[in-house]
């Protein structure tokens, strides 16, 4: 073994510190060096992709991807390089298809036959299916539409009827609806047909899709985010939306309040999720678990009125831990464990 790990970054973007790196990258690099391994950062440049591929293939045991997809225009070409490296035996943390499988919003539809996700959760990959189906799902109650692209709540809409008396009948296109975007909790009154036309932008283009799921009113009690280090929960972030109106966004930008808890304080949620991890992994492509990832949950109630936790989203492309840099040593230990297991 070479005992060398490559960290992939890309130049620019709001996630960089004064030194040009993500603030959580060098702590991981230094923690690996303290453990007798080497680690280095390579800035991905599509013009040098062949050179980068050859270097990493010949000099590294594994890579850790620290590129926010929003900062990379050539995402498909980056993933192509990562796939080739994984095929050559370089340990991917994570594999690019795991990034896609876990991180895409339609991961929820692949899990809608598990206790984690409501069965009436749908993904729309073409405009015709969206416009045919969404009026039927909305007629049964409030919905949330989520675009596959974007971040910080952009393109995530809470949609509710102004007149609730439709009783499951298909809605006419001039139906008045109230739409609240998670980005900043602003609300607009629109007509259904016009709003669906507006949403076409989320479906067209590479990796375009919309996920349609039932709105869970207990979101006002807060979203619960599990920060996972491979198969271990390392903390729980309780994200409570700003109070008032139709607010439902759990982003800091929208005024949500964050609290950091030990996983032991959420034992029921943690134990339930960990017990279902093998099934989650199998249904999302059966790739190895990501190195650093999150699972977001919203409270709901089961048929008996007891609390249950509904999965709302998984993130794994470039989850940061800049507010808890002391975790860098734990991450370094996990990287070494993953590589050692893979190289046996």
Q: DSSP letter at 16? A: B
Task: State the average pLDDT over residues 173-198.
Answer: 92
Please tell me the predicted confidence (pLDDT) of residue 270.
Answer: 95
Confidence of residue 255 (pLDDT cuts 50, 70, 90): low
Higher-pLDDT residue of 254, 53: 53
Please tell me the predicted confidence (pLDDT) of residue 250.
Answer: 53
Between CA 91 and CA 303 the distance in angstroms is: 44
Please tell me the predicted confidence (pLDDT) of residue 210.
Answer: 94
Confidence of residue 89 (pLDDT cuts 50, 70, 90): very high
**Letter string b/e over residues 174-197, b meaning 16 or more CB atoms within 10 A of that residue's CB:** ebebebbbbbbbeeeebebeebbe
4 bridge partner residues: 38
Instruction: Give which of 80, 64, 47 is closest to 6, Cα–Cα.
Output: 64
Confidence of residue 201 (pLDDT cuts 50, 70, 90): very high
Task: Choose the weakest-confidence range: 117-126, 239-248, 329-338.
Answer: 239-248
Q: Could you tell me the two tokens for 143?
A: 């919905």
Answer yes or no: are the C-beta atoms of 283 and 110 closer than 8 Å. Answer: yes
Task: State the average pLDDT over residues 249-265.
Answer: 72
Higher-pLDDT residue of 238, 77: 77
Handedness of CA 140, 283, 182, 323 (dihedral sign): positive
Report for 42-51, 102-111, 197-206: range of highest mean pLDDT: 42-51
Confidence of residue 313 (pLDDT cuts 50, 70, 90): confident
Nearest-5° Cα angle at 274, 303 to 326? 125
Asked if residue 196 has pLDDT above 90, the reply is yes
Instruction: Give which of 326, 327, 285 is closest to 104, Cα–Cα.
Output: 285
137-157: pLDDT as tens digits: 999 899 999 998 766 678 899
Please tell me the predicted confidence (pLDDT) of residue 253.
Answer: 55
46-76: pLDDT as tens digits: 999 999 999 999 999 999 999 987 678 888 8
Task: State the average pLDDT over residues 288-296.
Answer: 94
Could you tell me whether strands 91-93 and 62-65 are parallel, antiparallel, or unpaired per DSSP bridges? parallel
Confidence of residue 343 (pLDDT cuts 50, 70, 90): confident
Higher-pLDDT residue of 43, 13: 43
Query: What pTM did the predictor assign?
Result: 0.86
Distance set, CA 85 to CA 61, 89, 284, 318 (Å): 10, 7, 21, 19
Q: Is 264 helix (H, G, I), strand (E, B) or coil?
A: helix
Mean pLDDT of the chain: 89
Asked if residue 1 has pLDDT above 90, the reply is no
Confidence of residue 320 (pLDDT cuts 50, 70, 90): confident
Task: Choose the weakest-confidence range: 202-206, 238-242, 249-253.
Answer: 249-253
Answer yes or no: are the C-beta atoms of 289 and 277 closer than 8 Å. Answer: yes
Answer yes or no: are the C-beta atoms of 153 and 249 closer than 8 Å. Answer: yes
Please tell me the predicted confidence (pLDDT) of residue 247.
Answer: 54
Domains plus CATH for the chain? 4-93+324-342 (3.40.50.2300), 103-109+218-323 (3.30.470.20), 118-214 (3.90.70)
Task: State the average pLDDT over residues 300-316.
Answer: 89
Answer yes or no: are the C-beta atoms of 124 and 130 closer than 8 Å. Answer: yes
Q: Could you tell me the two tokens for 303?
A: 């048929």
Sequence-ordered strand ranges (E) for the chain:
4-9, 38-43, 62-65, 91-93, 122-124, 143-147, 156-161, 176-181, 187-191, 210-214, 223-229, 232-240, 257-261, 292-301, 307-315
Neighbours of 232 (CB within 10 A): 13
Instruction: Give which of 194, 192, 152 is closest to 175, Cα–Cα.
Output: 192
Confidence of residue 32 (pLDDT cuts 50, 70, 90): very high
Asked if residue 14 has pLDDT above 90, the reply is no
Task: Choose the weakest-confidence range: 70-79, 99-108, 136-145, 165-174.
Answer: 165-174
Between CA 174 and CA 169 the distance in angstroms is: 14
């Amino acid at each position: 073994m070479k005992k060398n790990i490559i960290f992939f970054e890309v130049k620019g973007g709001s996630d960089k510190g004064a030194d040009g790196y993500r603030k959580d990258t060098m702590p991981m690099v230094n923690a690996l060096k303290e453990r007798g391994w080497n680690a280095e950062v390579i800035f991905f440049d599509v013009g040098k992709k062949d050179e980068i591929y050859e270097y990493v293939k010949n000099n590294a045991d594994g890579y850790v991807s620290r590129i926010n997809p929003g900062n990379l225009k050539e995402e498909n070409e980056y993933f192509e390089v990562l796939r080739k490296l994984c095929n050559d035996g370089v340990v991917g943390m994570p594999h690019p298809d795991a990034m896609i499988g876990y991180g895409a919003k339609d991961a929820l539809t692949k899990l809608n036959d598990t206790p984690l996700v409501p069965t009436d959760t749908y993904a729309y990959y073409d405009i015709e299916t969206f416009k045919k189906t969404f009026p039927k799902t909305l007629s049964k109650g409030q919905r949330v539409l989520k675009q596959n692209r974007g971040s910080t709540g952009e393109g995530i809409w809470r949609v509710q009827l102004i007149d609730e008396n439709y009783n499951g009948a298909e809605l006419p296109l001039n139906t008045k609806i109230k739409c609240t975007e998670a980005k900043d909790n602003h609300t607009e009154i629109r007509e259904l047909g016009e709003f669906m036309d507006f949403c076409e932008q989320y479906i067209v283009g590479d990796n375009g899709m919309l996920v349609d799921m039932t709105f869970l009113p207990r979101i006002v009690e807060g979203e619960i985010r599990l920060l996972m280090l491979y198969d271990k929960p390392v903390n729980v972030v309780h994200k409570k939306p700003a109070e008032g109106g139709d607010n439902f966004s759990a982003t800091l930008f929208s005024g949500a309040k964050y609290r950091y808890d030990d996983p032991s304080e959420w034992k029921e949620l943690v134990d339930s999720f960990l017990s279902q991890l093998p099934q989650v992994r199998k249904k999302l492509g059966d790739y190895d678990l990501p190195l650093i990832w999150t699972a977001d949950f919203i409270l709901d109630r089961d048929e008996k009125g007891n609390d249950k936790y509904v999965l709302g989203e998984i993130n794994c492309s470039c989850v940061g831990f800049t507010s808890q840099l002391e975790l860098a040593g734990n991450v370094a230990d996990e990287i070494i464990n993953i590589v050692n297991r893979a190289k046996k």
